[in-house]
Amino acid sequence: MSMIEMIGGLAVGCAVGYVAKDKLASSSNTQSAKLAESKQLYDENEKLARRNKELERENEDLLIELQKVRKNAKNNSGDLEDIEDQLEAARREIKSLRQQNDTLSAKAREYKVACESLEAQLKMYKSK
């Protein structure tokens, strides 16, 4: 886009130069007015050229900033994937621990029943 603006600026400059040359050559009576107009057009052309350069620099700065934003987004995407992997691993571990807890709770109930049975037998033997 900056190349288009530069070509446009050159085209405007050439057109202004041609028009200014044509007007200066057509009449010597209005030469001073045409010189003033030519100077004004030249100044305007210079102003547009400076503005074009400023916009090119701004465009470059924005492209650099865009690259930084894309890099940050890519890094954040990688971090998100790592966090999702850690979450999935934690879920698997919780599931495994719950199964172990259920198994141990069942064994504890069995041992409790066995212990109560043994205590009952012990009381029965003591009472005899």
Segment 3-32, tens digit of pLDDT:
677 777 777 776 767 666 666 556 555 667
Chain centroid to CA 47: how far? 35
pLDDT in tens, 92-125: 999 999 999 999 999 999 999 999 998 989 888 8
Which helix H or strand E contains 118, and what residues bound it?
helix 31-127
**Residue 34: is its pLDDT beyond 80?**
no
pLDDT, average across residues 63-71: 93
Nearest Cα residue to 47 out of 13, 95, 70, 14:
13
Name the pTM for this structure: 0.42
Mean pLDDT of 74-89: 84
What local confidence, expressed as pLDDT, does residue 59 receive?
95
CB 60 within 8 A of CB 2: no
CA 88/CA 23 separation, integer angstroms: 79
